[in-house]
Structure 1
Amino acid sequence: MILRRAVLSPISLRSEGSSTDPLPNISEPYSRTDVTIITVLTDFGLKDPYAGVMKGAILSINPKARIVDITHEIEPQDILEASFVIDESYPSFPKGSIHLCVVDPTVGSTRRALVLHRGGHFFVGPDNGLFSSFLDDTAEVREITNTRFMLPHVSHTFHGRDVFAPVSAYLSLGARLSDLGPLVSDPVRLQDRMPRITGGRLEGRIVRFDRFGNAISNISIRDLEGFVKTGSFLITLGQTQFASLNKTYCEEPHTCLIGSSGYLEFGSFLGNFRDQTGTRKGDPVTVRLT
């Protein structure tokens, strides 16, 4: 046990078929000449050709698109992890950027395909809670139904290539959201994504691990400061407790700090916190006042 005491400072998609309509005529007023950045986030990994093929679909429509890989190493089917990674990543890109996110366990089912615009950024992907953090009153959310913006043949198993990549490419050329499909008023939201205060405690959980084995929670610095305000506190993860926040990973054998993403995380100096402590995704993290 490590214990220190301190004070915290003040989308319904067709599954198969082809369109007899010609491809959209991307011309004025569609043409976009300012920003053509398309970021890509998936759980495809790098062993298979899926990520590359999806980028090929983009470049076949817009050869000038600037494609940036966020990651293809999201844990398979882990929508929650993906939602936090895109939330952490998108602010680093200029307004007008298009964020293509494909973690899609129910591909080919009746789940909707979405495009949304919020804060100057565009997001394209499945309606499964992936974009939960962007679903406020300022977001314009639409279901992608216009097959003219898809590949001619849409498979049951690869909407990333056949739907989401082409839509992203056409957006980069200036396609209007209103041309893609109707407004959506009930997008899927992940339940219990954020921490909650109950019984005088702030309760969160571990949502992902980075390459170094650091355990990253869903408790943000804003959550922590709002709960603690001023005074002393105790943070508990498994059998390890912390009564202060570190600033760097090298201050203690085990550290608790606010990482670069703005969330509470746990690490080990020159080690792997996950392996050393047996911490797993979903493990509870609690903060109580002392």
Structure 2
Amino acid sequence: MCKHLVLQTDFGIGDGAVSAMYGVAISVDPELRIFDLTHDIPPYNIWEASYRLYQTITYWPEATIFISVVDPGVGTDRLSVVVKTMDNKYIVTPNNGTLTHIKEHLGIAEVRVIDEKINRLPRSGHSYTFHGRDVYVYTGARLASAIIDFEEVGPKVDVDVIIRMPKPEAKIEEEIVKGHIDILDIRFGNLWTNINRTLFAEAGIRYDDVLDVTITNHSQQVYKNSMTFSQSFAKSRLGEPLVYVNSLDKLGIALNQGSFAKTYQIGTGENWEIWITKVSST
């Protein structure tokens, strides 16, 4: 088993929660290598946790253990699981929708429910509010260090037990490419859509084409403008809007060296729709 643990939470780093998770893991095995995916998931935002796993996981070695804790249902009867992906990575997480993108885009080979009689931090049995420390990182560390194997996590259940959140699909209708704003490229304020580059090609859109872009929230228009489909940011002027292909081979919307999301108050999710139409070719 790979001795890599990759942690993702909505805890932030303003208190000792993440440090406590590190401490539990190192107490299990001081030779574990622990990395942070992010601890800045917005509180309770399961959708973003799902997306950030999808954004990252394929670039890690086989047998890497991911621990994702965005868990508004902590202490309830929601399942705690470890899944093995089709490309042989492991994710320790509550079964609350966090695996939506992994299940669709990567595939899940096997699911096991964590048996807390075996895989729970000793002397933590009366705490039901910090499963990230007491159950998830403890189980992940034991798995990564080969103290337990995958079968010893707990009973196997059907892959269909994994909860998926609603996930709209991009499409072409009457020469309009229609999609949704899935997530933000947070630091730069770019919009990442669910529109694949291949769908753009299917619509006959090529680099340097001029496009009409309309963004709505709950069907109310928030933004409408023309911009160029650019291969790089260097082909646009400072402050100019553009459409580009992001690192996941999907379409992004940006202001060159500005925050599109902040400038136009754009959010994310199934209520945020984007329509793109080709105006002309250059």
What TM-score, normalized to structure 2?
0.82
User: Alignment length, in residue pairs?
Assistant: 255
Is 1:249 matched up with 2:269? no
Residue 24 of structure 2 aligns with which residue?
57
> Displacement of 1:229 after TM fit?
5.7
Which has the higher relative contact order, 1 or 2, with Cα contacts under 8 A spaced 6 or more apart?
1
Select between 109-118 and 197-206 the one with higher mean Cα deviation.
Answer: 197-206
Residue 154 of structure 2 aligns with which residue?
181
Residue 219 of structure 2 aligns with which residue?
none
* 1:21-170 paired onto structure 2 within 5 Å: 32=1, 35-118=2-85, 119-135=87-103, 138-152=108-122, 153-154=124-125, 155-170=127-142
Q: Percent identity?
A: 27
Select between 264-273 and 116-125 the one with higher mean Cα deviation.
Answer: 264-273
Residue 214 of structure 2 aligns with which residue?
236
* CA pair 245-58 structure 1, distance change in 2 beyond 3 A: same
Letter in 2 for 1:106: G
Residue 274 of structure 2 aligns with which residue?
285
> Displacement of 1:281 after TM fit?
1.9
What TM-score, normalized to structure 1?
0.79
* CA pair 177-202 structure 1, distance change in 2 beyond 3 A: farther
> Displacement of 1:289 after TM fit?
6.8
> Displacement of 1:202 after TM fit?
4.4
Is 1:171 matched up with 2:148? no
> Counterparts of 2:17 and 2:143 in 1: how far apart (Å)?
21
> Counterparts of 2:45 and 2:247 in 1: how far apart (Å)?
22
> Displacement of 1:256 after TM fit?
1.4
> Counterparts of 2:200 and 2:64 in 1: how far apart (Å)?
31
Letter in 2 for 1:89: T
> Displacement of 1:171 after TM fit?
1.1
Letter in 2 for 1:248: S
Residue 216 of structure 1 aligns with which residue?
192
> Displacement of 1:164 after TM fit?
0.4
Is 1:207 matched up with 2:182? yes
> Counterparts of 1:220 and 1:124 in 2: how far apart (Å)?
29
Residue 171 of structure 2 aligns with which residue?
197
Select between 212-221 and 76-85 the one with higher mean Cα deviation.
Answer: 212-221
> Displacement of 1:222 after TM fit?
4.2
Residue 275 of structure 1 aligns with which residue?
262
> Displacement of 1:69 after TM fit?
0.6
Off by >6 Å, runs of 4+ in structure 1: 230-233
Structure 1 residue runs of 5 or longer lacking an equivalent are: 1-31
Residue 11 of structure 1 aligns with which residue?
none
SS at match of 2:84: strand
Is 1:262 matched up with 2:230? no
Matched-pair contact (CA < 8 Å) for 1:242–1:256:
no
**1:113-145 C-alpha deviation (Å, 9 max, x unpaired):** 110111111111110111122326652111112
**1:152-195 C-alpha deviation (Å, 9 max, x unpaired):** 2242111100110011101101222221122222111111x242
> Displacement of 1:243 after TM fit?
6.3
> Displacement of 1:247 after TM fit?
2.0
Structure 2 residue runs of 5 or longer lacking an equivalent are: 216-221
> Displacement of 1:230 after TM fit?
6.3
Select between 264-273 and 236-245 the one with higher mean Cα deviation.
Answer: 236-245
> Displacement of 1:207 after TM fit?
2.6
- What is the RMSD of the two structures over their aligned residues, measured on CA atoms? 2.3
